[in-house]
Structure 1
Amino acid sequence: MEFDRRRFLHIATGATAASAGGVLFAVGEPGAAPALAAPGGFPDYRYVGTLLTPGRLAYNPTDEIIFPCVRGVYDRLSTRLGRYYLYYAPHDAPGGICLAYGDSLEGPFTEYPGNPIVGRTWSPHYSVSHVSSPHVMWNEEHREMWLYFHGENNTTRLARSKDGIHFTYDRVVLTTAMLPRGTTETSYARVFRHDLPARGARYIMVFMRNSTANHRDIGWGWSADGRIWEFASQPLIDHADVGANNVSGPHLLKRDGRTFVVYHTDKGSGGNILITEVGADFSRRDHLGVFYDSRSAAPENGRAAAPCFGTDRGVPYMLYEAGERLSGAIAVARG
């Protein structure tokens, strides 16, 4: 399916929308005509509330937090603080990988008192200005929580844990040197269990990549073990193909045998979360438009970003950044 730029721009820059019954309606316009069916057959996620705000956190070095990643641990860890572990971080120096825990995806979440659980210096492995963008994957084979995080913006690393709190450093998994010349940033990576038999791979990584052209795209790679990676030279999703200046914060989703990537645009390009069907072998590029339309009201203020997903007792949820970059909060929407 070819991306309809005019349709996207109308949605991205028009009235704020809320979803109902698989159709979007403009807020404050009762009985408005249907604008867009939910793409890919996914739930229509609706804002429920705010989970974390910097001003209420004990560890708050820069008064900003980004990039939530939530994992159910109730059936994975024998000793745990709550049913769900929510990882997040400040971005600006010094950053720091942080943890909160709770028994419901609608909250409340309690800040772990030992934050940050991973800092910007880890001797003898690295010493950088900041670490951020935590993505934790449950590795069933090793029965471990695997943490992928960046610092600096050109390097993504892996650490591993048996309890989701105390991590052991593993290795660098991605740098700009692994991509074509002119690449300046490789960060905000998320990793998922996904088979690519033709490439001998069992894991997929999606991430943000930037270049000297200073337009951010979505990159991707594949791995047999989650530690040693190969990467595509061309973007998985090019910013220009979806009518945006920058795209970032990708997440893999599957539904009814189909494979998708969702990601956000910068606020100047609408501030929404978009969706592209990539296919089981990542050979498709069907840009389906808006997955989640950010609201003009607080806390989103026209920007929703960096989504992650979970299910709580059969109910689907999306956790995400809400608000202006580096001045927002972590929010939750229910499907």
Structure 2
Amino acid sequence: MHLNGQLPQLRRRSVLRGAAAAAAGITVGAGGVLTGASPALAAGPAGMPTYRYLRDALTLPNSPTGEYIFPCIRGVYDKISGARAKYYLYYAPHENPGGISVAFSDSLAGPFTEYSGNPLIDRFLPGTTVSHVSSPHVIWDAATRQFFCYFHGENTVTRVARSSDGLHFTDETPILSTRLVPGTSETSYARVFEHTLPGRGNKYVMVFMGIRSGRRIFYGWSPNGWDNWQFSPTPLVSPEPDGLTDISGPHLVKRNGTSYVAYHGNDGRMRITEIGNAFDKENHLGVFHSPVGSDNGRVAAPSFGSENGVDYMFYEAGERLGARICIARAVGPA
């Protein structure tokens, strides 16, 4: 999957991130949903806050390909005993062979220390071997007291694995593929959140990228996050209203009593679209963040957290084959 656009180096998933000012009251809800917001500090469409680059999250991690992408930050201190640190940062290289990895810190401000036992999940999966595994998204399922890790490999298949400690994952199980979304040639970069859709009998939703006449955002739902997934054949968000050909890297955002999807486009900027709590709208609100100099022309894959009233965003920056993971901190209004 490549994003073709104004900047040729921008390919694979230029997603969400931010760099400059404002947020008080944002928290990470169940499944990692960005929630809250102080209207007084609103800085963008839907009152999206602005963040300023703080530091790189990792220094020269042991990546087999020299790049690493798709951060997912999770607080584990209130979920399990014996945790290595308060916060686990999941990430992966993308190029073959990939590998789902984790790093640790006791502060969202970092820096993070790479786990010596990486990768947590490699390309040698139960019953098959794939070229790579990548794009981890980890949630805590309170009902089973387990972490679920969603990831892709190949680009046509998304899987879920489970763990009681956030480090040792098993039962890697396919849950999404192109055959389940008619007409698509890729289904990847999935993130899963707790969110109930009217009349669906679900607890979790998934937002992901599918290729069908361009890269679009699709969605699915499940009663438990593990199985019985169903997927809509109709895109949730399409690129044309944004004047784009490709969008990707969706993240569910809950604000103002409604729901949005934030995502990146093939021009390297972040946009946000209201989808409503029933996922029955497509109200494109425009750009909420553009790259700054330290992003090297590309930003992607946001993951949000809050610590001691300070809000942070982890994101992927840099060209596709040289991407790194950065930490940004919310600042006051400009």
Instruction: Measure, in 2, the Cα distance between the counterparts of 1:318 and 1:57.
Output: 20
SS of equivalent residue, structure 2 residue 199:
helix
Aligned partner of 1:248 in structure 2 is 248
- Matched-pair contact (CA < 8 Å) for 1:317–1:334: yes
Question: Hey, what does 1:323 align to over in structure 2?
Answer: 318
Which position in structure 1 is the counterpart of 2:58?
52
Deviation of the 1:122 alpha carbon: 2.2
What is the deviation of 1:37? 4.3
* Structure whose alpha-carbon radius of gyration is higher: 1
- Alignment of 1:137 with 2:139, yes or no, is yes
What CA distance in whole angstroms lies between the structure 1 residues aligned with 2:201 and 2:54?
Answer: 41
1:123 deviates by 3.3
Q: Summarize the Cα distance change of 1:325–1:311 in structure 2 as closer, same or farther, 3 Å threshold.
A: same
Residue aligning to 1:313: 308
Distance 1:170 1:21, change over 3 A: closer
Structure 1 counterpart of 2:94, from 76, 80, 91: 91
Deviations 1:165-224 (A, max 9, x none): 00111421100000113x11000000000011311111110001113x3x2111111111
User: 1:204 corresponds to which residue?
Assistant: 205
Aligned pair partner of 1:118 in 102, 117, 121: 121
Segments of structure 1 that go 5 or more residues without pairing to the other structure are 1-16, 23-35
Partner in structure 2 of residue 27 of structure 1: none
- Aligned pair in 2 of structure 1 residues 18, 203: CA closer, same or farther (>3 Å)? closer
User: Which stretch shifts more, 190-199 or 159-168?
Assistant: 190-199
Aligned to 2:185: 184
**1:160 alignment partner in structure 2:** 162
User: Does residue 1:82 correspond to 2:82, yes or no?
Assistant: no
Amino acid at match of 1:245: T
Describe the SS at the equivalent of 1:184: coil
Partner of 1:219: 218
Amino acid at match of 2:304: F
1:239 aligns with 2:239: yes
Q: Which residue of 2 aligns with 1:33?
A: none
Q: Which amino acid aligns with 2:192?
A: V
Residue aligned with 1:326, SS: helix
SS of the equivalent of 1:196 reads: coil
Shift of 1:157: 0.3
The answer to whether the 8 Å contact 2:77/2:83 transfers is yes
AA partner of residue 57 (structure 1): P
Identity percentage over the alignment? 52
Change beyond 3 A, Cα 1:102–1:151: same
SS at match of 1:306: strand
Q: Which amino acid aligns with 2:73?
A: V
| 1:208 counterpart letter in structure 2 | M
Aligned letter for 2:312?
Answer: Y
Q: Name the SS of the counterpart of 2:151 in structure 1.
A: strand
Give 1:257's aligned residue: 257
What is the CA deviation profile of residues 100-158 of structure 1, one whole-angstrom value per residue up to 9, with x for unaligned ones? 0101111010000011110000233x210000000001111111110000000000001
> Could you say which structure has the greater relative contact order, defined with CA pairs below 8 angstroms and 6 or more residues apart?
2
User: Structure 1 281/91 Cα, relative in aligned 2: closer, same or farther at 3 Å?
Assistant: same
| Counterpart Cα distance in 1 of 2:43 and 2:57 | 28
Check whether the contact 1:66–1:326 (CA below 8 A) recurs between aligned residues: no
Shift of 1:316: 1.4
Distance in 1, matches of 2:328 and 2:288, equals 13
Counterpart for residue 299 of structure 2: 304
1:238, 1:230 → 2: CA distance?
A: 20
SS of equivalent residue, structure 1 residue 113: coil
- How far, CA to CA, are the matches of 2:144 and 2:198 in structure 1? 21
Q: Deviations over 1:46-73 (max 9, x none)?
A: 22221125xx123x21111110001000
The unaligned stretches of length 5 or more in structure 2 are 1-17, 24-41
CA–CA distance in structure 1, aligned partners of residues 170 and 19 of structure 2: 43
Q: Distance in 2 between matches of 1:313 and 1:46?
A: 18
Shift of 1:81: 0.6
Q: Within 2, Cα distance between the matches of 1:75 and 1:198? A: 32
> In structure 1, how many angstroms separate the alpha carbons of the residues matched to 2:83 and 2:43?
40
